[in-house]
Amino acid sequence: MSRIGKLPISLPAGVSIDVSKGNLVTVKGPKGELTQQIDPDLGVDIEDGTLTVTRPTNQKRHRAFHGLYRSLIANMVEGVTNGYTKELELVGVGYRASNQGQLLELALGYSHPIMFFVPSDVKLETKSEKGQNPKVILSGIDKQLLGQVAAKIRAFRKPEPYKGKGVRFTGEEIRRKAGKTAG
């Protein structure tokens, strides 16, 4: 059995789950609503405020999907209950971030500013305090979309290993390399 797949998901108060035909799982909660299409072979059972995902056989394909869809549904429940937040930090001289609504403007040492439109499902906030690195704060209910947007912003200028400059997640450790030695 999949250790992840057989774990039950407890449903907090205010969260409702609907499984329609074709195995379309809809999770509604205080922060919003998310849907996920799951494999038709897998079963979703809801009893006494807990949800369990079951698989019909021990085939490799069913074993692989068992843990995957259980994790996706658990992430949806967590998202509509508490939401998710990712914080990015711009490390480098002259690096700046600002936003007008959902349009993020980044100055990352290139000859031009980078304009990036953030999807409407993700809430965007920028902070620039004196003496600290500028921060981009993303929050939303969809974990996958939030991670994808954060990864795209980070890809504009990945942290480099010599000086550590670039866009990084707050708290991310960058493996540093020694530079050239003076000869």
Cα separation, 45 vs 27, in Å, equals 14
Mean pLDDT in each 10-residue stretch from start to end of the chain (183 residues)? 81 90 89 92 89 90 91 94 95 92 93 94 93 94 95 94 92 89 71
pLDDT score, position 49: 87
Would the CATH topology of 9-81 be identical to that of 84-169? yes
Q: For 84-169, CATH number? A: 3.90.930.12
Please state which of the four CATH numbers 3.20.20.70, 3.90.930.12, 3.10.450.230, 3.40.50.12160 is assigned to the domain occupying 9-81. Answer: 3.90.930.12
Q: What residue ranges do the domains of the chain occupy?
A: 9-81, 84-169
